[in-house]
Amino acid sequence: MNAYQWVIDTTGFELLFGLKNKTTNQWLFRYETPLSSQRSHSSLLVPLFQEACTVAKVALTEVTQLTVCVGPGSFTGLRAGLATVKTLGQWIPSLVITPITVFERLRLQAKLAGCLEEKTSLTVVLDAKQGRLYTATWLPQAGWEKPQFILMDDWVNIQKKEQFILNDTLSTHVDKLGFSYATVEALSPLALEAISLAENAPITWQQLAPLYLQSPNITIKKTMIKDVC
């Protein structure tokens, strides 16, 4: 019997959506079109479920797993995506929901791209706009450390680490230092596949929450990049 999985990411300008046959590891439907505004997510996401089922000839209730990205990212995009998933979870009680953060998605993308060894530590540095950065560090033995904001002005005295991922807009800050890194943009073709590989513990639709609500005590504070890389 085939097992089917929804894959959804509304954290950025690009809406990522897919339907995958987990038994055969084949994509039955993929949607990865860049959008001009996250406000479009809410109007496009619901029709995509019906379109995917029609194309794949799979009933909506046959899909038993849904993996969704919970941030960090656009507030509007997250609200649209998670509200849709919660509604679907209420309608299909047997649906297993697996959350994944953008940080974990990028780590899996780097592994798929072959640029991250299993025992290598990783720091993700994301441009949070308005002069801020959003960072988190992965340690092979301990997993993800708590993510935090830092001010762009504090991004100095970077200490060399094994690997890190950052937005392309930030690459000019480290190019002159000769550090090894991968960019979010370069890894983007692997995003949908990475989300489908999430191994986090499943949750109920009532437990589903964006990352910023899971870490409500995050504040912007003066800190050196060495504290988060």
Contacts of 47 (CB under 8 A, 6+ apart): none
Question: Which pTM was predicted?
Answer: 0.87
- Reported as a single tens digit per residue, the pLDDT across 149-182 is 888 777 655 555 568 898 888 877 766 666 778 9
Distance CA 199, CA 114 (A): 19
Same domain, 154 and 196: no
Range of the domain at 131: 103-187+219-227
Q: Which three-class secondary structure state does DSSP give residue 16? A: strand
Same domain, 125 and 142: yes
pLDDT value of residue 36:
61
* DSSP string for residues in 148-201: EEEEGGG--SPPP-S-EEE-GGGTHHHHTTT--EEEHHHHGGGHHHHHHT--SP
Which tops the pLDDT comparison, 31 or 132? 31
What rounded mean pLDDT belongs to the chain?
A: 84
117, 208 contact by CB (below 8 A): no
- Check the CA dihedral 30-34-38-41 and report its sign: negative
Which tops the pLDDT comparison, 7 or 130? 7
pLDDT value of residue 41:
78
Same domain, 223 and 129: yes
- Reported as a single tens digit per residue, the pLDDT across 68-116 is 999 998 888 888 899 999 999 999 988 999 999 999 999 999 999 998 8
Same domain, 223 and 143: yes
* The two structure tokens encoding residue 60: 């909506």
Count of other CB atoms within 10 angstroms of residue 93: 8
* Number of domains, the chain: 2
Same domain, 79 and 162: no
pLDDT value of residue 192:
96
Same domain, 114 and 223: yes
User: Which residue, among 98, 93, 96, 118, has the nearest Cα to 107 in the 3D structure?
Assistant: 118
Same domain, 34 and 125: no
CATH code, domain carrying 205: 3.30.420.40
Same domain, 132 and 35: no
Same domain, 10 and 95: yes
Please say if the pLDDT value at position 224 is more than 60. Answer: no
